Amino acid sequence: MRMNITDYMVGASDGDVGIRTAAPDDGKELDVSGDIECTSLNQTSDVRFKKNIVSLPDGQLDKIKMLRGVKYNLRNDLCFLKGRIVSPDTVIVVEDSIRMVKDSLGNDIEVVIKGSTYTPKFDYLNGSDGPQIGFIAQEVESIYPELVETNEHGYKSMGYSRLIPILVEGMKEQQAMIEDLEARLAALEK
């Protein structure tokens, strides 16, 4: 894969890496604006790294039924500047002295003189143009707040893989109901 210098950025102070974003989200070691494809992705799950382990309580099936799966398209008309949504025609007025704009390697890109204006380079929400399937983080948060994170600008993301244990417990509850109904039916047929 070829990457241009403008395709990635390393956070100057903390080493965070952003791909196709001008500023990695604080607290995220890797912030990617776009699709990720890999042959394997493992998440640390060793019991030695965990504490306060308890089984999920019964009643997961009722909560699962409250989740609303949706089909949607990503908005590719949104512009981001330093992690915030802005209008694509945003112009910045520089009010303080001379400003040097530098790229991720520290090279000067342009000089902006006091009182002048410039149109910044924006990040766009990158991803597949086709239909997507998922959830609305704000809706999930009201049911399973542990699955949703909110960044410093108030934008929400969801840990989809963390939904798997919930679904497994819901399937177990459903299977227990099926087995109970099968036993009752068998008793009635005798």
3-state SS assignment for residue 44: coil
Residue carrying the six token digits 């949706």 = 70
Measure the CA–CA gap between 51 and 154, rounded to whole angstroms: 29
Render pLDDT for 8-34 as a digit per residue (tens, 0 to 9).
555 545 667 777 666 666 667 777 777
Q: Is residue 30 in some structural domain?
A: no
* Spatial CA neighbour of 57 closest among 146, 134, 158: 146
**Residue 106 maps to a domain:** no
Confirm whether 142 is domain-assigned: yes
Is the pTM of the predicted complex or chain greater than 0.75? no
- Residue 123 falls inside a structural domain: no
Enclosing H/E stretch for 146: none
Residue reference for tokens 């239909």 = 131
Q: Domain for residue 190, yes or no?
A: yes
Q: Can you tell me the distance from the alpha carbon of 119 to that of 112, in angstroms, rounded to the nearest whole number?
A: 11
Which residue range(s) make up the domain with 185?
54-74+131-190
Helix (H, G, I), strand (E, B) or coil at 13: coil
pLDDT tens, residue by residue, 112-135: 444 555 455 545 555 667 788 999
